[in-house]
Structure 1
Amino acid sequence: MFLHVQRLINEIVPDEPDPAAANALQEGLGGQFGEMRTMMQYLFQAMNFRGPNGKPYRDLMQGIGTEEISHVELIGTTISRLLDGSPEYSGKPGDPLDKPGSGGATPLNIALSESNIHHYLVAAQGAMPVDAAGNPWNGSWVYNSGNLVLDLLYNLMLESTGRLQKCRIYEMTANKTARSTLSYLIVRDQAHENAYAKALETLGVNWKTSLPIPKTNAEKFPEVKKLLDLGLQSKQYTFDLTGASEAGKIFQGMSPSNDGTELIANEQAPAGVPSVIAPERFEEFAPGLDKDLMALIQATAEMELADIEALYAPVAPNK
């Protein structure tokens, strides 16, 4: 059972809209090595786990898979923020939607020349479950062999490749909104690499000779270095309200990253930051709930409440 806290796992730094960066980030969301893939792969592995003696490994997969749900939320929200509005459009919500506003651009003209036009035609300036080329996310990517060592090796490769791709996307854009999320995910991918590497070590697998972690030198990115200095690459959260997770039996000792840090798994979840709803997009005809719709909702609710009261009204006592 999962509970949702209405907070984002990391802050999204505000900056100008950037649909090209938004489309690049789609690879990190719905691509073969993106957050939707890791979320589904680890949760399916945990659900299909066999053997009660391996509970610490199941709990580790489940904890990371649960965190990946928050990563899907984070990167999807970031894509929406990068699409939220149009550069050079300086109009107001009440301006005519078919004319440039106050000397700026036509509201959605950037959709014709930048990245994925479906962000505007289909998604009302929002994220979609696709990769950077617009291909839908594919459930056949999920790897669940039933063999613990094979699954852990595949998961380590998946995190390594995902981190490598995010480093590339980071170097494609200077947008602060994109980089704030990319930096966080780069560091957390390293934490998950450490988790699966440590799990393999406890099983006697010398993963370093067959699957070295890519030398991305991500610490040269200033936003990444701040998080590494906080030791975020060496923490793993349980996301377990009952305290029953045994993932800490594996995620302990010195980090496989050889950065001199010690692995820590004693936190339930990060504090996160407030989650806010994006403003209405009138140029997308996505205004949310207008006055007429609110009135209709209220009238419908009153009718339903009246029916319920009539059905469950207490029976008058006999005289």
Structure 2
Amino acid sequence: MFMNVQRLINEIVPDEPDPAAANALQEGLGGQFGEMRTMMQYLFQSFNFRGAAAKPYRDLLYGVGTEEISHVELIATTIARLTDGSPRYKGSAKKPLDEPGKGGATPLADAMSMGNIHHYLVGAQGALPVDAAGNPWSGSYVYNSGNLVLDLLYNLMLESTGRLQKCRIYEMTKNKTARSTVAYLIVRDQAHENAYAKALETLGVNWGKTLPIPKTDAERFPEVKKLLDQGLHLKQYTFSLDNLSEAGKIYRGSAPAASNGASLTTEQRPEGFPMDIAVERPEEFAPGLDPALLELVQATAELELAEADAPGSGAGTKRR
């Protein structure tokens, strides 16, 4: 059973809209090595897990898979921020991010030449379950062999490849919104690499010779270095509300491939950052609740309350 906290797992830094950067991020969301893949793969591996004696490994998969849900949310919200704003927008970094410039172009004109046209055509300036080429995400990406060592090896490769791709996306754009999210995911991918590498070590697998992790030198990215200095790559969240997770039996001790003797630790969950709901977009015919709809909602609610309070309804005593 999953619970949710209405906070983003990482802060999204505001910047100008950038549809091209949004499309690059689609690979990190719906691509073969993206966040939707990791979310579904780890959760299905944990759902299908067998063997009570190996519960710490199931709990590790459960914790990482649950975190990936928040990564899907983070990257999808980032894509929406990068496409947000009418293409009439002609402002600059010195003006409010949502202020259209005077003498703007035809509404939605940028959709014809920048990024992914489907972000505007069918997504109402929001994220889509596709890769950067527009191919739909596929459940066939999910690897779940039922063999613990094989699954862990595959997961380590998946995290390493995902981190490599995100480093490339980082170097494709200067946009602060895109980079703030990509940098965070680069560091968390490293934490997950540590999780699966450590799990393999406890099973006697010399993964360092079997599957060397690619060298990305990501610490040269300022946003990444800041998070590494905070030790974000050395902790794993359990997301266990009842604290029954045994993932800490695996995610502990010295970090794999660490040269400075750093240690791994587990926490229940991060504090998170405030979450805002995006504004309406009239040019997408997505206005939200306009005054007429709000009036209708209020009238309907009052009617339902009156019916509930009517004698013989049986509901009057249950109202709070």
Tell me, in whole angstroms, the C-alpha distance in 1 between the residues paired with 2:199 and 2:235: 14
Tell me, in whole angstroms, the C-alpha distance in 1 between the residues paired with 2:271 and 2:261: 22
**How far 1:142 sits from its partner (Å)?**
0.7
Say if 2:251 is the partner of 1:251: yes
Q: Which amino acid aligns with 2:212?
A: P
Gaps of 5+ in 2: 92-99
Say if 2:218 is the partner of 1:225: no
Q: Which amino acid aligns with 1:175?
A: N
1:128-150 per-residue CA deviation (whole Å, 9 max, x = no partner) reads 11110111110111111110000
The residue aligned with 1:85 is 85
1:131-146 maps to which residues of 2 (within 5 A)?
131-146=131-146
Given candidates 305, 314, 319, the residue that maps to 1:312 is 314
Q: Are the structure 2 counterparts of residues 236 and 103 from structure 1 closer, same or farther at C-alpha, using a change threshold of 3 Å?
A: same
The residue aligned with 1:123 is 123
Tell me the number of residue pairs that the alignment of Structure 1 and Structure 2 aligns.
Answer: 307
The residue aligned with 1:284 is 284
Say if 2:2 is the partner of 1:2: yes
The residue aligned with 1:182 is 182
The residue aligned with 1:59 is 59
Alpha-carbon contact 2:88-2:108 (below 8 Å) kept: no
Q: Which amino acid aligns with 2:9?
A: I
Runs of 4+ in 1 over 6 A off after TM superposition: none
**How far 1:87 sits from its partner (Å)?**
5.9
The residue aligned with 2:104 is 104
Say if 2:20 is the partner of 1:20: yes
**How far 1:47 sits from its partner (Å)?**
0.7
Name the SS of the counterpart of 2:266 in structure 1: strand
The residue aligned with 1:70 is 70
**How far 1:260 sits from its partner (Å)?**
1.8
Alpha-carbon contact 1:18-1:175 (below 8 Å) kept: yes
The residue aligned with 1:172 is 172
Report the TM-score when normalising by structure 1. Answer: 0.93
1:106-160 per-residue CA deviation (whole Å, 9 max, x = no partner) reads 3311100012101001010000111101111101111111100000000000000
**How far 1:176 sits from its partner (Å)?**
0.3
Please report the RMSD computed on the Cα atoms of aligned residues, expressed in angstroms.
1.6
Alpha-carbon contact 2:87-2:108 (below 8 Å) kept: no
1:29-68 maps to which residues of 2 (within 5 A)?
29-68=29-68
**How far 1:54 sits from its partner (Å)?**
0.3
1:296-311 maps to which residues of 2 (within 5 A)?
296-310=296-310, 311=313
Name the SS of the counterpart of 1:213 in structure 2: coil
| Structure 1 range deviating more: 249-258 or 158-167 | 249-258
Name the SS of the counterpart of 1:43 in structure 2: helix
Tell me, in whole angstroms, the C-alpha distance in 2 between the residues paired with 1:103 and 1:313: 57
1:33-83 per-residue CA deviation (whole Å, 9 max, x = no partner) reads 000000000011111100000000000000000000000000000000000
The residue aligned with 1:199 is 199
**How far 1:241 sits from its partner (Å)?**
1.2
Tell me, in whole angstroms, the C-alpha distance in 1 between the residues paired with 2:162 and 2:204: 25
Name the SS of the counterpart of 1:312 in structure 2: coil
Q: Which amino acid aligns with 1:58?
A: R
**How far 1:262 sits from its partner (Å)?**
2.9
Q: Which amino acid aligns with 1:295?
A: E
Q: Are the structure 2 counterparts of residues 259 and 299 from structure 1 closer, same or farther at C-alpha, using a change threshold of 3 Å?
A: farther
**How far 1:263 sits from its partner (Å)?**
3.4
Report the TM-score when normalising by structure 2. Answer: 0.92
**How far 1:281 sits from its partner (Å)?**
1.2
Alpha-carbon contact 2:254-2:264 (below 8 Å) kept: no
**How far 1:90 sits from its partner (Å)?**
4.6
Alpha-carbon contact 2:11-2:273 (below 8 Å) kept: yes
